[in-house]
Structure 1
Amino acid sequence: MIKADAYTLGVVSRISKAQLAELRTREAKLMSSSKPSILSRSSASYSHFRNSRTFNAADLHQVMNIAGRALEIAIATRAFRDRQSLSNEELELGMLQDDLTLTPLGDTCAPKIFCDSVPERYRRIDGACNNIRHPAWGSHLTPYARLLPPSYKDGVWSPRVSEYDGAPLASPRKISTTLFKDENIYQSGHTLLVMQFGQYMAHEITQSIDNSFMNGSAVACCQPDGSAALDPNFRHDACMPIIIPEDDPFYGMFQQRCMNFVRSLLAPRHDCTMGYAEQMNKVSHFIDASSVYGSTPDQTGQLRSFEGGKLITFDDFGRDLLPITKDSEACLTMEQGSACFNSGDTRTNQMITLAVLHTIFMREHNRLASELQRLNPSWSDERLFLEARQILIAEIQVVVYKEFLPAVIGEQAMKEFNLNLKRGREYSYEYDPSIEPSVTNEFTTAAFRFGHSIVDGQLKVYGTKKMEEIIFIPEVMFHPSRMRKRHFFDQILSTLTTEPIQEVDDCFSDALTRYMFRAGNPFGIDLAALNIQRGRDHGIRPYNDYRELVGLSRYTSFNDFGPKGEALRKVYASVDDVDLWVGGLFEEKPEGSMVGYVFRDIIADQFVRLKNGDKYFFENDPSLNPGHFTPDQLEELRKVSMSRIICDNSDGILLARQAINAFRIPGVAGNDVVDCSSELIPRINLFYWKENHI
């Protein structure tokens, strides 16, 4: 371990504070300059920026304060590295373990979290105090965990370079056009709901935030016409623009040579030490229905009706939809009659199918609250809200581990990683307070982005007898007004639970690689290129390192990739340069798994963390879980299925039947379509939540 004396820390602190002040002064000049450093609201990249917006001004202030501390630590680490002539390997191994709390750098530590000595019955909205010894683990505005140390050029924050010759890696857009093609190769076993629920879950547990100016304005890294990257002298330091080759087969037609890309905000390390940069997760890391309730008390308060434990709804001629947002930036258009919705997550309106799932879970909360009030008329609004929230969290956890996760990683991995739920009235004793539950960087930037490969660029909308409409997905991004059409909600639920997904492979719809977030423009952005650049931004190591991590042999030649090797050779100088997200998509798949071995194990590891590192996980024994359920309640909760949640919360106009498992194609292996009233889609009996029911 490398020790830092007080004098050196004092020098490093003065350097870091001075450099941070210079950055802030430069930012202010860029904002006031006539140079185009602020992103135009009409650009496709601005629609992408909507994904990482903060909730409100107070939220922005808190986020920027914490991110500023982390940036100062990164600057201090660079200064200390230079003074001490440290190697990247020493930084990667975490050799700087001095607690900075009582040093001149102490004000860069993460804000302290204080917990009650007696654990609360209901988990906190922000995810804090789940683990009393480590109260920040899993809470919002904290760093992602890592499976391996990052690979940064300078050991601190600069994007990695080629392992072969130290040259910059190939443009992510060049890699995208070389490796990925627009073809439809459908699976025969699973529905579009796997894709859409997967996105919902990604938003449930992860949200990185792009750097912005201090007032929240979006950062531009390219010339307004996209013809080139901005001159570095007039560019925000968080810019990492994606260069588009001159001969690009699509963007070349529009003379586009630059795609906007802004680096993610950082978060201070949990242990208040110097070291490599860590990125911030804006939402709580747990499966705690933060997409429904938000990750701050302020968000939750704005979503509650404070009557009968319910959430606020928008009454659309007798149908409960999500409340209409007051945020003028939430959608592309907010003219009268153009619906734009509010929920616990700022990305709700990104995809119309995503808004459908948000609506389903909002309705389920209110359904639970109504039934609990009927059973317990003396309960206060607060008690009803907290109990309904606790049940809904458990229901989502059941759906994840009983239906969704087996579909993605396969039954064999579920057994290998001990991820299957217990049965009947049985409690779990698998909670381990030494397990950090935080989402790993490799999971959020690479492995769980497998879902982008299974997105269909079009939605087929069926009426009672025939297909009525084909919706091109980019046309309804941040424009969810179709939700107000009377039949549309049930139609989309039917589409999600009957239409097949595509294979996880090297095929991507051009809706994602050419028109994503186009916002009325003739072109959008390339999601595949963004994924590659995001991995580099976050310091994700090359694919080969993760093969070794999961027990596979390293590839020594592009030929080891099989038929994909020749294409990879065109864009990577070395097999050790291949990005994790790219290599993971090209993997051979274990039987029963949608994804290859490396992605499978990264995903499985994450859901072990979320299950065994969560004190409040619904199965946990009373000695572990302050908000434990009774054995009778556990038995009821384990009956939950996504099909039942859909049946109970659809409009019931066109949807009265449902396959037993909504994630599987109807009719596959006995997955029959039955009436929603059928006992084959069992109901949870809330009688066991009636006070003194015995």
Structure 2
Amino acid sequence: MAKQPTPQGKPQTTGSTDRPEPAFFLRAYEQLALLVDHKIGWDRLPRPLGLAILYGLRNLLRRKNLFDTTGFPATNLPRIEPRRANDTTERSADGTYNDFANPRMGMAGSRFGRNVPPGRTFPEIRPQILSPSPREVSRALLTRDEFVPATTVNSLVATWIQFMIRDWFSHGQGTMEDPWTIELLEDDPWPVRPMVVPRTIPDPTRQPGDGLPPTFINQDTHWWDASQLYGDSLEAQRRLRSHDGGKLREPLNGAAIPDDQGQDPANTPGFWLGLAMMQRLFILEHNAICDRLRDDYPRWTDEQLFQRARLINAALIAKIHTVEWTPAVISHPTTVAALRANWYGLQGERLRRLLGRLSGNEVISGIVGGRTDHFGVPYALTEEFTAVYRMHPLIRDDWTFRSAGDDTLLQEATFRDLAGPHAYELLAKHSLTDLFYSFGTAHPGLVTLHNYPRFLQEFERPDGKRVDLGAVDILRIREIGVPRYNEFRRLLHLKPAKDFESLTPDPAWARELSRIYEGDIERVDLMVGMFAERRPEGFAFSDTAFRIFILMASRRLNSDRFLTKDYSPQVYTPIGLDWVENNTMASVLLRHFPDLRPAMSSVTNAFTPWQSTGVCADR
């Protein structure tokens, strides 16, 4: 049940707002799954048993870990337009009317939800919130001493996840009103004392001092609607379109794609070459979809072509993330099967293609194309979801660009050469074919301690200010009230770490953690604990983070009518559904860059390492 405010303004612990308590045997099954997970671990079981345990854990998390924040007092809510007839078959620009009964649900400018009880999300007060110093945590525990690669995947996983995050969530760039100040040790080389960090922008729909847990606004839509390509408002969408044949504007290499405000995105922190490459790839894909639709629907207007192509492109992106990216970065056999089942069900891709959905049950036939279900709690992405997606160690410090034709060395660079306006220089200098080849044949970093990119710990923003993103990551998670590691695990039905030695398998790390956190295991930050813990086989990140994915990876599909009940030929067109179901990340890349075929000929998943086209080089 979700936390809702009582008339006295105090949040009460309730279950999902309208979902009945499950039958006794289902509750018993959930508890059995939890017991087996605690005693053995889902990842140590044969795949069928592991899947059964994950299914029970997901049901438990759906019942116990979805919390609504929209019931807290609100004022000055963003204006929404009256419903249009086209809202039935088209995604709105700002995310409204995905749910007709609650048109604000998931819109840009609405609140993040929670996966832990809101009453447990009050941020710590000073000085506890700054203890230990986020800067010292970053320096002592995150600094990359030597690059640790994630050898089962390629660097497209790093570009992809930032591309997704630009669709899913943003707290904004922060405010310098009453900023955080972090005192520095004498030996700290940081050039400005103290270190100053902007605060997260407060929720403008809340009245200060109401005594309730804080809430924050997602500046993006919460839906999986490819808003990183199409914008979060009608005005932004109009700027991004060519207004000819339904297409998006295609920038020349070296040119900018305007952001939601019509500005150069290189002026926004976080812009880099990898993000620009993905934006260009899926602009090309949108336009290819428009060409295909126009062949079969020659009388369609620019608007009709654009809206259908957007639906198709967004669904294809969601599918790639579900059945390709995520199984690549958590490539345990059980999770690979579980994630594919989110889309196809246990009946599998081949049988679903042949016979369609065999059942209304999502376990048998998948979530996609089934019924929409919010599980009694209005849909929103959550603050805990944003916290576990802080995966900067995926990014390399040092990059090598090579020719896709023969693996010839073109350029060596550091991440600083890829960031901000420098991205345009590389786009102008090298073809997208060569850039994608270079990313596809290079490993990203493992999401672990002592593997944070050096250049992100001394990152220069477009406004010239330097930031330590490692310290900012630590502080942000504390600031938005996500519990620290052990408490987070308790609230996600996991065993807390008894001590530093049980937290991490590395004795040296245990000693470092104990020193930084002064022997108090309860003070370990969530991100630090996730980076330190044992990872299941095939995982590039932690099992603790995976618990949020178990819940939210399926919820993003379950709640979106365009991926459930309206995932139909009537809405997408038969051509559109075929496009989504018959394409992969590999086919998208090869459609637009066919010269990548030799490098990709040996891979079944485009996020796994590609073959060098020349003399093998150390990647």
TM-score (norm 1): 0.68
> What does residue 171 of structure 1 align with?
133
Q: Of 373, 394, 404, which residue of structure 1 is paired with 2:325?
A: 404
> What does residue 454 of structure 1 align with?
394
How far 1:466 moved relative to its partner? Answer: 2.4
> What does residue 413 of structure 1 align with?
335
Q: Of 521, 524, 537, which residue of structure 2 is paired with 1:575?
A: 521
Q: Is the 8 A contact 1:515 1:526 kept in 2?
A: yes
> What does residue 370 of structure 2 align with?
429
Measure, in 2, the Cα distance between the counterparts of 1:501 and 1:176: 20
> What does residue 134 of structure 1 align with?
102
Measure, in 2, the Cα distance between the counterparts of 1:662 and 1:257: 44
Q: Is the 8 A contact 1:122 1:390 kept in 2?
A: yes
Give RMSD over aligned pairs: 3.6
> What does residue 303 of structure 1 align with?
240
Measure, in 2, the Cα distance between the counterparts of 1:96 and 1:665: 41
Does residue 608 of structure 2 align to residue 664 of structure 1?
yes
- CA 1:95–1:490 in structure 2 vs 1: closer, same or farther (change >3 Å)? closer
Write out per-residue CA displacement over residues 273-310 of structure 1, whole angstroms, 9 at most, x where no aligned residue: 97221111111111111011001000001111111111
How far 1:436 moved relative to its partner? Answer: 3.7
Letter in 1 for 2:142: F
Does residue 162 of structure 2 align to residue 199 of structure 1?
yes
> What does residue 566 of structure 1 align with?
511
SS, match of residue 562 in structure 2: coil
Q: Of 222, 245, 270, which residue of structure 1 is paired with 2:185?
A: 245
Measure, in 2, the Cα distance between the counterparts of 1:307 and 1:660: 36
> What does residue 22 of structure 2 align with?
none
> What does residue 451 of structure 2 align with?
508
Q: Is the 8 A contact 2:174 2:198 kept in 1?
A: no
Letter in 1 for 2:150: Q
> What does residue 430 of structure 2 align with?
487
Measure, in 1, the Cα distance between the counterparts of 2:371 and 2:67: 29
> What does residue 43 of structure 2 align with?
none
Measure, in 2, the Cα distance between the counterparts of 1:485 and 1:633: 33
Measure, in 2, the Cα distance between the counterparts of 1:632 and 1:581: 43
Measure, in 2, the Cα distance between the counterparts of 1:603 and 1:97: 22
- CA 1:269–1:556 in structure 2 vs 1: closer, same or farther (change >3 Å)? farther
Within a 5 Å distance, the mapping from 1:97-136 to structure 2 comes to: 107-108=75-76, 111=79, 115=83, 120-136=88-104
| Greater Cα radius of gyration, structure 1 or 2 | 1
SS, match of residue 187 in structure 1: coil
How far 1:135 moved relative to its partner? Answer: 2.1
SS, match of residue 406 in structure 1: helix
Write out per-residue CA displacement over residues 650-680 of structure 1, whole angstroms, 9 at most, x where no aligned residue: 3x5777652442101136xxxx99xxxxxxx
How far 1:430 moved relative to its partner? Answer: 4.5
SS, match of residue 416 in structure 2: helix
> What does residue 612 of structure 1 align with?
558
- CA 1:630–1:176 in structure 2 vs 1: closer, same or farther (change >3 Å)? same
Q: Of 369, 373, 382, which residue of structure 1 is paired with 2:303?
A: 382
> What does residue 350 of structure 1 align with?
271
Measure, in 2, the Cα distance between the counterparts of 1:95 and 1:379: 41
Measure, in 2, the Cα distance between the counterparts of 1:656 and 1:241: 52
Does residue 479 of structure 2 align to residue 537 of structure 1?
yes
Q: Is the 8 A contact 2:143 2:450 kept in 1?
A: yes
Q: Is the 8 A contact 2:153 2:608 kept in 1?
A: yes
Measure, in 2, the Cα distance between the counterparts of 1:312 and 1:109: 32
Q: Of 350, 359, 364, which residue of structure 1 is paired with 2:280?
A: 359
Q: Is the 8 A contact 1:514 1:526 kept in 2?
A: yes
Letter in 2 for 1:615: R
> What does residue 70 of structure 1 align with?
none
Measure, in 1, the Cα distance between the counterparts of 2:539 and 2:372: 26
How far 1:207 moved relative to its partner? Answer: 1.0
> What does residue 594 of structure 1 align with?
540
Q: Of 105, 108, 116, which residue of structure 2 is paired with 1:148?
A: 116
SS, match of residue 501 in structure 2: helix
Measure, in 2, the Cα distance between the counterparts of 1:612 and 1:494: 35
How far 1:539 moved relative to its partner? Answer: 0.9
Give the aligned length.
521
Q: Is the 8 A contact 1:555 1:575 kept in 2?
A: yes
Letter in 1 for 2:224: I
Q: Is the 8 A contact 1:403 1:663 kept in 2?
A: yes
Measure, in 2, the Cα distance between the counterparts of 1:99 and 1:529: 31
Write out per-residue CA displacement over residues 325-356 of structure 1, whole angstroms, 9 at most, x where no aligned residue: 79666446xxxxxxxxxxxxx66x71012101
Question: After alignment, is 117-126 or 366-375 more displaced?
Answer: 117-126
How far 1:261 moved relative to its partner? Answer: 2.8
Q: Is the 8 A contact 1:459 1:470 kept in 2?
A: yes
Measure, in 2, the Cα distance between the counterparts of 1:95 and 1:294: 25
Letter in 1 for 2:513: L
Write out per-residue CA displacement over residues 116-141 of structure 1, whole angstroms, 9 at most, x where no aligned residue: 69951112121111122322221111
Write out per-residue CA displacement over residues 624-666 of structure 1, whole angstroms, 9 at most, x where no aligned residue: 869644677545422211111112223x577765244210113
- CA 1:4–1:654 in structure 2 vs 1: closer, same or farther (change >3 Å)? closer
Does residue 579 of structure 2 align to residue 647 of structure 1?
no
Does residue 150 of structure 2 align to residue 187 of structure 1?
yes
Question: Unaligned regions of 5+ residues in structure 2, if any?
Answer: 10-64, 358-368, 614-619
Letter in 2 for 1:127: G
Measure, in 2, the Cα distance between the counterparts of 1:371 and 1:608: 30
Measure, in 1, the Cα distance between the counterparts of 2:463 and 2:94: 36
Measure, in 1, the Cα distance between the counterparts of 2:338 and 2:187: 47
Letter in 1 for 2:380: S
Write out per-residue CA displacement over residues 461-493 of structure 1, whole angstroms, 9 at most, x where no aligned residue: 013442221111123321122244353322211
Within a 5 Å distance, the mapping from 1:87-98 to structure 2 comes to: none
Q: Is the 8 A contact 1:587 1:596 kept in 2?
A: yes
- CA 1:134–1:402 in structure 2 vs 1: closer, same or farther (change >3 Å)? same
Measure, in 2, the Cα distance between the counterparts of 1:638 and 1:149: 38
SS, match of residue 260 in structure 1: strand
How far 1:367 moved relative to its partner? Answer: 1.5
- CA 1:247–1:627 in structure 2 vs 1: closer, same or farther (change >3 Å)? farther
How far 1:321 moved relative to its partner? Answer: 6.1
> What does residue 74 of structure 1 align with?
none
> What does residue 48 of structure 1 align with?
none
Write out per-residue CA displacement over residues 392-413 of structure 1, whole angstroms, 9 at most, x where no aligned residue: 1121111111101112334423
TM-score (norm 2): 0.75
More helix by share: 2
Q: Is the 8 A contact 2:148 2:451 kept in 1?
A: no
Question: After alignment, is 489-498 or 190-199 more displaced?
Answer: 489-498
Measure, in 2, the Cα distance between the counterparts of 1:2 and 1:195: 43
Q: Of 360, 368, 380, which residue of structure 2 is paired with 1:438?
A: 380
Measure, in 2, the Cα distance between the counterparts of 1:95 and 1:137: 11
Measure, in 1, the Cα distance between the counterparts of 2:451 and 2:402: 24
Measure, in 2, the Cα distance between the counterparts of 1:524 and 1:96: 34
SS, match of residue 460 in structure 1: strand
